[in-house]
A and B are shown apart, each in its own frame.
Chain A
Amino acid sequence: MCEYKFKTTETAWCPGCGDHNILDALRQTLEKLGKQPHEVLIVGGIGQAAKTPQYINTNGFCGLHGRALPAAVAAKIANKNLTVIVNTGDGDSYGEGGNHFIHNIRRNVDITHFVHDNQIYGLTKGQASPTTGIGHKTNVQPFGQFNQPMNPLLTALSLGAGFVARAFSGDKEHLIEVMTEAIKYKGYALVDILQPCVSFNKINTFQWYNQRVYKLGKDYNYEDFMTAVEKSLEWGDRIPIGIIYKKEKSTFHDNIDFLRHGPALVDHDINIAIVEEFIKELF
């Protein structure tokens, strides 16, 4: 094994799984950004992708299914000096954790959310996820899955997300570019990363994605909201990857003076004298 600063370890993922490339892209991105392992926190919920914190030398938090986002944003609120990244799957992010996905876009804490979107449940062996296509047959949906698939990019845009992107695990170089921009972005950044599941998704394979994805060109204006909405709807024969939308917005920390200007919350001294003042108000 190579000796990188962000040393990665042997994984329990299947050979050929898109997660391998995502993990390596993440490692390279962090190296490129000049981060130190102790400055980074990677958070996962439950699922194959959610094991990412186990396999890379950073701080890691593997919590509950669907609950990566609440833990991650709160860790960032507690210590703004940490670089907080969520690596977790489509089921964890959009299914079990759907409510947190919605409201943490609104909250806009400065974290990065990498969704390993293989359009299937891997850990539980192949049931439909919120992004599984219509007609896709699984053990639990033997006659096909007929619920309208979720469009995470459009959802994020509609909720006012300031950084919305899509990437493909099969194009590592591009993935690193997108990851870098997402981590650098001040605020909640969503990157939906398309990846094959070699064991349970026989439809959305590497070839399936590879034939369809195309990179957004330099002429693409990611600051225009309506263009972004249009791009987020493009799915099928051609699937755009890259930064779909990016705009500066005030973050959670910006809205609270003592978080924006003061030291990190974790570095605050305890101010017992203030309690004396509060007690006086009760006379």
Chain B
Amino acid sequence: MSYNILIGGSAGQGVDTVAAIFEKILNKTGFNIFTIRDYMSRVRGGHNFIQVRFGKDKILSHWDELDVIVALNEETATIHKDRLKEGGVILCDVDVREDSVFPGNSKNTKNIIFKNLSLKSKAKEIGNIKVSGTVALGALLKILSIDCKEIDGIIHGFFHDEIAAQNIAALETGRTLTDGILNISSPNPGNIPSNQNILINGNQSIALGAIAAGCKFYSAYPMTPSTTIMDYLASKMHEAQIVVEQAEDEIAAINMAIGASYAGVRSMTGTSGGGFSLMVEALGLSSMLEVPVVIAEIQRPGPTTGFPTRTEQADLKFVISASQGEFPRMVISLRSPEDAFYQTVRAFNIADKYQIPVILLGDQYLADYTTTVKPFDLNKVDIHRYFADETSIDINNYKRYQITETGISPRIIPGKIPGATVLVDSDEHDEYGRITESAEVRIQMNNKRLRKLKYLEQELIEPELLGEEESPILIVAWGSTYGPVYEAVELINKTSKTKVSALVFGDIWPLPQKLLMQKALKAESIINIEQNATGQLASLIRECTGISCNKSILKYDGRPMSSKYIFEELIKII
């Protein structure tokens, strides 16, 4: 059982703060939470909404049907009213007119409860019109019958002094404006649960993963929806002693990251598709110089500017093939905030081990949704730098690009070993890093670089199997659709005669094939579910394995697929 609350208004009305306080209260009360944010690309006005889904069990996706709409303006009620469940509630100020939200008799069909409350006038009485959203939150908590003893502490985490007092008063006032409607019992009434979850989004998880991995240098150019990685890292710059530098452009950002990495520190950059387009040449540089770098590519709908604040999974084929020439790289698509944390740590280890660029592929959905997860287990964080030292190289004859069986050459930190210098060159080079035009050396070096892929392939993580162990219907998906697919598969297998299994890829380039081959052999139908128009995973699978998907669920309107949406689409085609 889960509940779904929508809080909406125009930009600048405090929708985000109200939702963030609400989430904290729910988390402190022991609920699991899944919150999506829908912003327009503007600073003021427009229509923005946040949907908070919560319940006692783990939640992996947003949901479309609503229990309550908190409408800070009339537009919010009008746009979303049709998604209310039978007996759902609209909570709004007295200036929102019921007959204009529901012209004629349209509301009675679902027995919607329309709660006109004096949000703004009560806020004025408190002395700050800006707390009208908090008055609404107080009313919402009352409607949901949620009580939390931690409220003072939570509010003081958001505001200082007088403003905090005003918000606390606003919450109390809000509670008096209505009766309870939905009688939701709290999992841990009044107490902070001992196994409390953290509340985190995908980009914060990437940033925390980078700090845990020992990343010491992050350079990026702001681009939605990747910027919040930089925001988080910048806020921790001094405590974590990580240099966070806003570059003049994405070309500088990645070349800086490569320069810092050459000098021996773990380095990272982050961007979205447009910025990644500018980074493309340097992606090849990382692989050619064999200087590791980690790049977070947080996708949004393209081409070009596209939908700046919305989601899509349409850069997969671009990132696996970007840049001229043939060279090793790895692409890990991130499936959840938890996955994002651990995979970011792993990306640094792999980048260092193989001396290659590793791309973490996220998207706006994963970047911005917040959810409750178990606190990350730092015992699982293992760091391996794979540097050679003076005992493992010939100091007088150091070969940065020594030909080896694995293709991996001894890497040292420049300046650390007297007598040994490190020369790297974007030109084709010999074992010392010196420019060459020798056909023979060219072949040796190209083979050496590509040989690393063979070893990398041996440590790929197979996709996660969901649902049935074996089924005639196999779903394939990747990245952030993991949660919605997970719930949709569960729903299908619970409610439908037809049972399905699903493979959701995290590691995606090189493409792990073992489990896919096994499961595909038994499948009569293979369905790819992707947040793009052309089915890029299906195309990649066909290219690598010859296996074709015969059905697709594709969405490319910039809005994330919910588990309900996937469930309903699956029902139509299985």
Interface residues of A (CB under 8 A from B): 12, 36-39, 41, 43, 46, 51, 53-54, 57-64, 66-67, 70-79, 81-82, 99-100, 102-103, 107, 256-259, 262, 265-266, 268, 270-272, 274-279, 282-283
Contact = CB atoms under 8 A, between A and B. Distances in A.
Given A60-B422, A82-B415, A265-B243, 13 more contacts: A51-B435, A60-B423, A63-B258, A70-B255, A71-B259, A74-B256, A76-B263, A79-B414, A99-B251, A102-B248, A272-B381, A279-B376, A283-B375
Contacts of B434: 54
B258 A274 contact: no
A78 B252 contact: no
A257 B256 CA distance: 20
Given A60-B433, A78-B216, A272 B378 contact: yes
B423 A53 contact: yes
A59 B423 contact: yes
Nearest to B212: A275
Interface string B253-289: 1011111111111010000000000000110010001
Name which of A70, A259, A271 has the most chain B CB atoms within 10 A of its CB.
A70
B426 A73 contact: no
Given A74-B260, A282-B200, A275 B252 contact: no
A38 B200 CA distance: 44
Contacts of B281: 64
B558 to A, nearest CB: 28
B424 interface: yes
Interface of B: 27-28, 196-200, 204, 208, 211-212, 214, 216-217, 219, 236-241, 243, 245, 247-249, 251-253, 255-265, 267, 281-282, 285, 289, 375-376, 378, 381, 383, 413-427, 433-435
A278 B208 contact: yes
A53 to B, nearest CB: 7
Given A265-B265, A274-B239, A282 B198 contact: yes
Contact of A59 (B208, B255, B415, B426): B415
24 contacts: A54-B434, A61-B259, A64-B255, A64-B285, A67-B251, A67-B285, A70-B251, A73-B256, A75-B262, A77-B217, A77-B260, A78-B264, A79-B263, A82-B414, A262-B241, A265-B216, A265-B260, A266-B263, A266-B413, A272-B381, A274-B236, A282-B204, A283-B27, A283-B375
A212 B178 CA distance: 88
B216 A276 contact: no
A38 B236 contact: no
**7 pairs of A and B residues whose beta carbons are closest in the complex:** A71-B259, A74-B259, A78-B263, A270-B214, A103-B248, A282-B198, A70-B255
Contacts of A259: 243
Contacts of A37: 419, 421
A179 to B, nearest CB: 20
A222 B425 CA distance: 37
A43 B253 CA distance: 17
| Binding site secondary structure of chain A | helix
B240 to A, nearest CB: 6
Contacts of B416: 38
B478 to A, nearest CB: 27
Nearest to A279: B375
Nearest to B216: A265
A258 B241 contact: yes
A54 B424 CA distance: 9
Given A60-B421, A60-B424, A274-B239, A99 B262 contact: no
Given A38-B414, A265-B265, A67 B239 contact: no
A271 B241 contact: yes
Contacts of B240: 271, 274, 278
Contacts of B375: 279, 282-283
B263 A283 contact: no
A70 B420 contact: no
Interface centre among B27, B241, B252, B375 (most CB of A within 10 A): B252
A147 B417 CA distance: 48
Contacts of B285: 63-64, 67
A67 B420 CA distance: 25
A278 B211 contact: yes
Nearest to B417: A38
A64 B291 CA distance: 13
B554 to A, nearest CB: 34
Interface centre among B243, B256, B285, B381 (most CB of A within 10 A): B256
Nearest to B281: A64
B428 to A, nearest CB: 11
A277 B239 CA distance: 10
A192 to B, nearest CB: 21
Contact of A79 (B241, B257, B264, B435): B264
B238 A257 contact: yes
A79 B427 contact: no
A75 B259 contact: yes
Contacts of A266: 216, 263-265, 413
B211 A274 contact: yes
Contacts of B200: 282
B415 to A, nearest CB: 5
Contact of B419 (A38, A63, A64): A38
Nearest to B266: A270
Contact of A81 (B267, B415, B417): B415
A166 B550 CA distance: 68
A272 B547 CA distance: 43
A36 B418 contact: yes
Contacts of B257: 74
B414 A59 contact: yes
Nearest to B237: A256
Contacts of B383: 270
A68 B496 CA distance: 60
A12 B253 CA distance: 31
Contacts of A99: 248-249, 251-252
Contacts of A63: 255, 258-259, 285, 289, 426
Contacts of B217: 74, 77-78, 265
Contacts of B259: 43, 61, 63, 70-75, 78
A79 to B, nearest CB: 5
A79 B413 CA distance: 10
Contacts of A100: 248, 252
Contact of A268 (B237, B241, B251, B258): B241
A73 B219 CA distance: 12
A17 B221 CA distance: 39
Contacts of B208: 275, 278-279
B211 A258 contact: no
B69 to A, nearest CB: 28
Contacts of A60: 421-425, 433
A237 to B, nearest CB: 37
B421 A275 contact: no
Contact of B415 (A41, A54, A279): A41
